[in-house]
Amino acid sequence: MVRSEAEAQDVVQETFMSAFRKLDSYRAEAPFRGWLFRIASNASLMRLRTRRRRPEVSMVLRRPSCSEDDCHQRPVVDLRPLVSKSLEDEEPGERLRRSTDALPDKYRSVLVLSDFDHRAMKEIEEELGLSVSAVKTRLHRTRLSIRKDLEGYLAGQV
Amino acid sequence: MLRCDAAVDMLLDAHDGTLSSQGRQALKGHLSQCPSCTAFQRSYEHSITLTAQALAVKLPTQVSARIYTGMTQRFRRECAQSPRTDGGSRSC
């Protein structure tokens, strides 16, 4: 979420130190992993709030272009060939990580909490202090932007 | 009939399972007649899967080691700064 490896290391350290200090508040009936992830994402969000703002990048809504009576003026590229690959070291994985790294913080944090941490909308809303509709708008824009980037990547590969 | 752009804007709620029954019906009706939107929906779902995969990067071994070293140093520092309440030796 914080993008830089050095900052991520600090966040992990803060997370474990904080978890150690708050261990008394951990309720055994809740999954420990989830509790730890929540501390980590709070630490990450705290860093995003306090650090110098990155220059704002405009996030255009990247839906298929529609005219009055027609839509999908270009064919939709099938992303299935990428799904079967391991993205860890592959070029498309790197491309995807670059795309997510380039996102403005306010879009990236929503994406990470939703599509990586699998948090519920209500949780994201509370954690980021946003309305559900604002979370949904950001998430939709971000997903469409990433989908478009992957489509561009695959189209360029063919 | 639902327009394609409106159908695309329903995909988030459809994915989350929060689309109203009326919305689900409208989207289903549109997708049954629009192969491009069906393909678009598939690629939207695939991009979500791919994002989750790409962000789940394994931590390099040297990073784990650096985090461990950093934590040990911080723990010792915090422990040294914390006041002793019982007059005895610190357990940390």
Q: Do A13 and B54 touch (CB under 8 A)?
A: no
Give the distance, in angstroms, between the CA of residue B84 and the centroid of all CA atoms in the same chain.
Answer: 42
Pick from A49-63, A109-123, B9-23, B55-69 the range whose average pLDDT is largest. Answer: B9-23
Do the Cβ atoms of B39 and A97 come within 8 Å? no
Interchain pair B57, A16: CB under 8 A: no
The pLDDT value given to residue B90? 56
Q: What is the DSSP-derived secondary structure letter of residue A117?
A: S
Residues in chain B within 8 Å Cβ distance of A12: 67
Q: Six-digit token pair at A146?
A: 């990433």
A158 pLDDT exceeds 50?
A: no
Q: Residue A136 pLDDT > 60, yes or no?
A: yes
Half-sphere exposure of residue A9, counting CA atoms within 13 Å on the CB side? Answer: 16
pLDDT, tens digit, 9 for 90 and up, residues B23-53: 999 999 999 999 999 999 999 999 999 898 8
- Tell me which chain A residues have a C-beta less than 8 angstroms from the C-beta of B50: 79, 82-83, 87, 92, 96, 146, 150
Give the Cβ contact number of residue A47 at 10 Å.
18
Chain B residues whose CB is inside 8 A of the A97 CB are: 54-55, 57
B13 phi, psi to nearest 5 deg? -65, -35
Of B5, B42, B66, the CB nearest to A63: B5
CA distance B34 to B51: 26
CB of A18 closer than 8 Å to CB of A47: no
CB-closest option in B47, B54, B71 to A97: B54
Residue of B nearest to A1 (CA): B55
Q: pLDDT, tens digit, for every residue of A21-34?
A: 787 777 777 778 77
**In chain A, which residues have their Cβ closer than 8 Å to the Cβ of B8?**
63-64, 144
Q: Quick check: A11 pLDDT over 70?
A: yes
Asked whether residue B77 carries a pLDDT value surpassing 50, the answer given is yes
> Scanning every residue of chain A, which has its alpha carbon at the shortest distance from the alpha carbon of B43?
A79
Task: Answer whether residue A123 shows pLDDT above 70.
Answer: yes
Closest-CA residue of B relative to A71 is B4
Asked if B43 lies within 8 A of A144 by C-beta distance, the reply is no
Find all residues with CB under 8 Å of A135, minimum gap 6, and list them. Answer: A110, A114, A121, A124, A125, A128
Q: Contact at 8 Å (CB) between B43 and A64?
A: no
For chain A, which domains are there? 1-55 (no CATH), 66-158 (1.10.10.10)
Task: With a threshold of 0.95, tell me whether the complex ipTM lies above it.
Answer: no
Specify the residue for token string 């950093």: B70
Query: Where does residue B30 rank: exposed (0-12), middle (13-18), buried (19+ CB within 10 A)?
Result: buried
Cα separation, A8 vs A2, in Å, equals: 6
Retrieve residue B40's tokens.
């678009």
Do A151 and A145 form a contact (C-beta atoms < 8 A)?
no
- Whether A13 and B43 lie within 8 Å, measured CB to CB: no
Nearest to A132 by CA among A118, A122, A142: A122
CB–CB contacts below 8 A, A to B:
116
